[in-house]
Structure 1
């Protein structure tokens, strides 16, 4: 498998860490665990897995100690944390260990609670928020074998699990899985490598699917674990986009033009009348995070530092809805622009180009008087809310869970997610939408405010993450982008890039793209001592079979630069998640 070969170095590093930890454990008097002393546990119910094609066979393979590999697409409304805990408990029954990797602390707490319900104290959580002492104690428990189930964030993929039998990564499209520090490993690739080398089972799970996992399925290394369409139709809410039919346009001619069309308000009112909560997903937090001239649409800029102007929430709460009588402030320097004048046309009028979650909550409060409006996002993220008639306004990724599910979900400003200048914009938008839509109860309603003719919107309406991932993979293969190829992104000054390339023995089929200037917003910091004024990026592209050759060549060239004591800033990443 290509990923396993290219991450061989990461595997050796993981092995070295385990050996070092073993030495420490011996020094502290740690001994091997007694598997026979493990308390008896009840068998895992396989009924929930029977809803998926080959789900029962997958669970049987785990019980028999084999190492099946699957890409699991969870059904809408699925108790996915419970399902992952059941997989882990099945492996523990065989005397082996399981590592479950999740994106953030909210997911960690949810999965860990379910694992402890099934395997008791044999499940531990690993995250940076624990602190060094607590984290080290749990690390030793995993190494000794007293902790058989590890639930953690990105770095937990390196946990020294004794007799590893299962490795799961939930929602592998989340950008938190990409390590920002050298050598920039991705948890998904490291997990695939560990499973490949140890013979453990591997599951890439989520509501959506990435092109990388689709490529692995196409190669035959892993197999689909999805439900039939009949089962899906019974579990999914009714998903639609405004103006997706001639009848809808006749009823509401402005459905595609307004931010929240009449059909969305009608659905929300109906759900609230029945006592069901309504979820409103907004891509941006704040009040009005982006402003422009109301006359010529030129972005509003600060006269002092040329930073973007915005209207903060605390000022907006006591002002009119027009936004013209209020004073915006700069998002960079914080200076209030009391006398704004457009540099292009001289107009003093402003308009919002992006509406944030706070302003959305204010508008919905006027639209639904007497209905509680709750917000989730930024520093105030809700894990769950109680059932009842209420409107929950959430930024993407911060949607709270409600027992029984939401009655209606409104996914606003789809253009903001789809319009990003990023290779993974469509994939990420579908992942965000599906995560929110999965919280809606069966036969509820989901309305996405986006052009219904866009393939990503159609994939959401049909709930077809596999088809969308296959289309994304085909599109990237056509233009030569990962995962169909291996690509190295080299960021640095013109001098440092030229020095690296001159010292590298690159594969014969390498395609050199650039270098081109890297915008300030796309740059990543090098170090406290290095702050070049001009940063460029060069992309090196090779066939997947030459990925290891490219990585070794760049590593050797970096070593040559080190011997020359070159101090010019440089960063090299293989298949970065933010190619652009």
Structure 2
């Protein structure tokens, strides 16, 4: 096999294909498929992966030889390569973009220090004869666990029930699923959104599997620690992996289970090209390896409901007894309005104060605030018009009591702000942040400790003694034994966000916090404050009824009527306006539905506009403001249209790369592009 086919890391889309090289005699034994190599390409030495050895070349000319084999460790296993190729095709990206995320950088000392050991040196753990209580508490849970333990490959969406017992809480549920899979002689990949969830699942796996049977992969590990853990998986030392986003590609031997927690968390979306979701990676791996797939969470996303309705996943679990979860009240409803008057609609209404005061006698109280900071958004105190930056039109915020307003986009201070509508010069809070809420609560409950949790200082857990914990969504600490009560403030701030998933995300964040509260039977109570009163809000009803599956199914049905994701295929193309007009014409000719070009909103757009004006107001040579197209293909369209549009977008990127276009378009594919 004298010819090697090498995928070269050129960084160019039009060169994302294998190239042929000859294998020198001195490198013959080390040049194995999957190894990292160096080759001569366009006058420079570039890295790449040796994909395969073949007896003859397709190229009729002279072939250059391999420069060197960086390491004879076969780091690119066939299963991961197939997943990368499939993902690149689905996302209109390149295989090398995926592999940069899938295979960590080499660390030579880690390769030398990790001893070789046969996978058979440690046998599979012993699983219990009967399904554990972490699974029997769910509808069809015992059957799913039994199928995993006997080597079968079910596909399920698990809606978890709140629990504060380490033997029945969701980390132990995932750990017991990995135990059942390991007992059948197969490996598992478990993916969670963040480090706090990772620590909990890590502890549960240690309790369920015992020591030295799993590894942890996450971005905070040092280069040597991360590569050592990854090599243990590659060499078969362990067959259970838990980690954050990048762990989805872990090269587990005999893969039998892929599982991920909280599908709707945006941390599962890769912010770098090709902008995929963990769900796509794990479902692709499950299909290629014939393994089981389980997605679990306290709520369910519309994407998961779509998979259930299409028969790709089976719904498992759900709330059995309503009293197994906390009681939910909406402040301002019923007798609250009659008893409290205008105070029923305050930032912290009277019903919330009463619930917190009563709960503090029994344990900690959680207060969820949608925004961090002091006053993250302001309005004119006279005419109520939103306060905007005079430079970039970004929202003005107050960093502290008595401070000057600061732009949330360009971070400029506006010491002489005046309202363009009424010339008013006084600001009022439009949204109250976590820091100011902490001050208000601290004054209302003197002597009670106040704990604040939010980026960048996130608290992992709090003890069972009385305290008030103010946290932003996603940063709520876990309380020992559960919170006695939770106050969910400013519900309108989550519901009014300009996002397709605003209501879905609100339900996910509310239920995530409510799941940390004790059950109704144990006196746990959740108070939702700031919900709009003008109409019945399905998201609020889903929280009160604790029925996220009903809400997600309703949401999916409404999107299907409008051909919106995930009921339709979608992509986003970003670039300059003139360039996007040409792209739009090509997509319309194929038959796709295209909206735009339209300005890209947010901090990036504001910064671009500020830069275009120059530091002293004069015009500068900054690049044109980025805009975007939204491309949709309804499910009712020709089944081959999606593949045609994908191929067109991939070809567009390759053409621009080959022509060395100065400002090429960027392509993002998936239901999350409209979020």
Return the TM-score normalized by structure 2: 0.77
Partner of 1:311: 398
Tell whether the 8 Å contact from 2:565 to 2:671 is kept in structure 1 after alignment.
no
Q: Secondary structure at the match of 1:441?
A: coil
Partner of 2:577: 494
Does the alignment pair 1:566 with 2:661?
A: yes
Shift of 1:305: 6.2
Shift of 1:523: 5.3
Shift of 1:144: 1.3
Counterparts of 1:117-516 in structure 2, within 5 Å, are: 117-119=207-209, 120-227=211-318, 229=319, 231-245=320-334, 247-254=335-342, 256-272=344-360, 274-302=361-389, 307-313=394-400, 316=401, 327-331=404-408, 337-443=414-520, 444-449=524-529, 450-451=531-532, 453-501=536-584, 508-516=590-598
Does the alignment pair 1:101 with 2:191?
A: yes
Partner of 2:142: 56
Where does the alignment leave 5 or more consecutive residues of structure 1 unmatched?
317-322
| Cα distance in 2 for residues equivalent to 1:307 and 1:53 | 49
| Cα distance in 1 for residues equivalent to 2:376 and 2:274 | 35
1:101-140 Cα deviation digits (max 9, x unpaired): 0101111111111112222211111111112221111111
| Cα distance in 2 for residues equivalent to 1:306 and 1:511 | 31
| Cα distance in 2 for residues equivalent to 1:510 and 1:126 | 40
State the superposition RMSD in angstroms. 3.2
My pick for the range that moved more, 545-554 or 190-199, is 545-554
Shift of 1:381: 0.8
Does the alignment pair 1:579 with 2:656?
A: no
Q: 1:41 aligns with which of 126, 133, 152?
A: 126
Tell whether the 8 Å contact from 1:4 to 1:192 is kept in structure 2 after alignment.
no
Q: 1:519 aligns with which of 573, 591, 601?
A: 601
Shift of 1:95: 1.7
Tell whether the 8 Å contact from 2:344 to 2:350 is kept in structure 1 after alignment.
no
Partner of 1:320: none
Shift of 1:256: 5.0
Change (3 A) 1:128 1:305: same
Q: 1:550 aligns with which of 645, 649, 657?
A: 645
My pick for the range that moved more, 513-522 or 167-176, is 513-522
| Cα distance in 1 for residues equivalent to 2:487 and 2:171 | 24
1:209-254 Cα deviation digits (max 9, x unpaired): 1111001000111101123x5x331310100112333x34323333
Change (3 A) 1:10 1:129: farther
Does the alignment pair 1:89 with 2:166?
A: no
| Cα distance in 2 for residues equivalent to 1:8 and 1:328 | 45
Q: Secondary structure at the match of 2:661?
A: coil
Tell whether the 8 Å contact from 2:124 to 2:185 is kept in structure 1 after alignment.
no
| Cα distance in 2 for residues equivalent to 1:540 and 1:181 | 20
Q: Secondary structure at the match of 1:440?
A: coil
What count of residue pairs does the alignment treat as equivalent? 560
Shift of 1:18: 8.5
Shift of 1:482: 1.0
Return the TM-score normalized by structure 1: 0.89
Change (3 A) 1:8 1:232: farther
1:444-478 Cα deviation digits (max 9, x unpaired): 10011113621100000001011011011111111
Q: Secondary structure at the match of 1:560?
A: helix
Partner of 1:319: none
Tell whether the 8 Å contact from 1:239 to 1:447 is kept in structure 2 after alignment.
yes
| Cα distance in 1 for residues equivalent to 2:139 and 2:487 | 31
1:338-380 Cα deviation digits (max 9, x unpaired): 5544333233322111101111011111111111111111211
